[in-house]
Amino acid sequence: MTDAWNKLVERLEELTDLYGIAGLVEWDQAVLMPSKGGASRARASATIGGIMHARLTDPAVGDLLGELEADDSLDDVQTRSVELLRREYDRETKVPAKLVRELTETTNFAYQAWTEAKPASDFAAIEPHLKKVVELKKEQADAIGYEGERYDALLDLYEPGMTSVEVETMFEELVEGLRPMVDTVLDARAPRPEFLSGNYEVDRQERFSQWLTRHIGFDADAGRLDTSPHPFTIMVGQGDIRQTTRYNESDLPSSIYATLHETGHALYDQGFPERWHDLPVGSYASLGMHESQSRMWENQVGRSRDFASFMLRELKKLFETELGSVTPDEFFEGVNYPERSMIRVEADELTYNLHIVMRFELELALFRDELEVADLPEAWNVKMEQHLGIRPGNDGEGVLQDMHWAGGMQGYFPTYSLGTIYSAALFDKANRDLGGLEGEFGKGETSRLLDWLRTNIHSKGHMLDAKDLATKVLGEQPSAQPLLDYLKGKYSDIYSITF
């Protein structure tokens, strides 16, 4: 073990602690912080962020990386850790401090403008802020550098190693299969099941969610499940994974599937090797791979016929009056009920990815200088008609519905669909490797699937980028076909249709 490596690990341990503090502050803000604490919390968060950036970009870190890159005695874990830290160090040091500050300030103003513009459906109120955000993100991409095109630099922040062209190819395959499928399924669907809009006491929903997350493998001694307006999962430290969900008295499935989704994230975080905790390899392969774990537990497991039937039996113990007459077939059909939605976060499993594809196409056009910010509202409406066959009645339910663009998160949206694509392919592989998974789900047994994920995905951390990890596990390049096959199989089962 070299002296340079030991010195680097000391710095990594400090960075890990700082990331944990930042995570705890973020969790507290969403779960416990009083409403008047926002201003001081923003300053505290900025202070922590500044300290982390200073520690990461310290020239001494660059010197240690240079020394270790010339050391041929490092093992695979050390070599990969140096490679990953080099990526992050170069990216952070290439972007001028002035640009970092300007981006932070501009996105803060843009986010505040968005919170007011969305309910008022007033795109003009945010347009100058959003225009400035896009200009600065282009500067950031140019500063970081790229081999293919500008958007690649931003995509790489969230999905390392993936290019715009690769995403385009995968999404074209997805859209080609999805759009006719959506039309066929929606033409065949039955009326919306009544139980989807009932009256479900929140306390009992919470009891079920707390039981469900532990039942599928979440270690409650190494984490928590709380409530927040928007569900999320965050790693505070080793043995401390915080997840949140939300409850709606008139919408029982929303809390169930939010909980399953976040538990998927949490199981991934709890599955990294402890010995790698302070190293760059001891983290997720990409946001898309993280999303694959949440989507798998939410959809491939949670919305399967067998696991839905299992959950219904358990739910009837808590909601006997509300669900007593609901059959397993009705429940399965209800939790998979498809419809065209204006709002991405309310979209069902069948149509959700079309929402993501259109956002990706708009982002790509912006960063290829083929679209101006001022033209986004109409471009959005055209894309909605093209992909989903509906047109927003106003910008609040259209171009203003997400906070991502105001927050400077261009390049993030594709990870949602990449994760969905990965989840279907990985589940198909797990089912072929293990056999009989869905039958076990009917008994509430999911441990064999979790063990497979621990072995093939979680324990690998970030030793490989997501697309390379998926390729290694699948034995082939990931594609949209397993997802399309999965959706065809599900809706053929529900509505007795052929494609």
Residue 445 backbone dihedrals phi, psi, to 5 degrees: -95, 120
Among 75, 94, 113, where does a domain finish? Answer: 94
DSSP state of 393: S
Q: Are 452 and 317 in the same domain?
A: yes
Residues 340 and 390: beta-carbon distance below 8 Å: yes
Cα–Cα distance, 416 to 402 (Å, whole number): 14
Count: domains in the chain: 2
Q: 104: pLDDT confidence band, cut at 50, 70 and 90? A: confident
* pLDDT over 90 at 174, yes or no: yes
Average pLDDT over residues 291-296: 98
If asked whether residues 63 and 130 sit together in one domain, one would say: no
Is 7 inside a domain boundary? yes
pLDDT of residue 2: 84
Instruction: Find the mean pLDDT for residues 158-166.
Output: 97
When pLDDT is cut at 50, 70 and 90, the band that residue 354 belongs to is: very high
Same domain, 248 and 389: yes
pLDDT tens string 3-47: 999 999 999 999 999 999 999 999 999 899 998 998 888 888 888
With vertex at residue 85, the alpha carbon angle to CA 283 and CA 18, rounded to the nearest 5 degrees, is 65
User: What pLDDT does 108 receive?
Assistant: 85
Same domain, 31 and 134: no
Say if residue 126 is in the same domain as residue 90: no
Domain that holds residue 44: 3-94
The answer to whether residue 102 sits within a structural domain is no
Q: Which positions are annotated as active-site residues? A: 262
The answer to whether residues 345 and 226 belong to one domain is yes
Residue 108 lies inside a defined structural domain of this protein: no
Indicate whether 344 belongs to any domain: yes
Whether residues 377 and 423 fall in one domain? yes
Q: Are residues 204 and 312 in the same domain?
A: yes
Nearest to 302 by CA among 482, 481, 444: 444
Percent of the chain with pLDDT over 90: 92
Instruction: Specify the CATH number for the domain of residue 411.
Output: 1.10.1370.30
- Residue 413 DSSP class: T
Q: Are residues 263 and 395 in the same domain?
A: yes
Q: Are residues 213 and 90 in the same domain?
A: no
Residue 42 lies in a domain: yes
Same domain? 349 vs 285: yes
Q: Quick check: is 99 in a domain?
A: no
Final residue before a domain boundary, out of 77, 94, 111 = 94
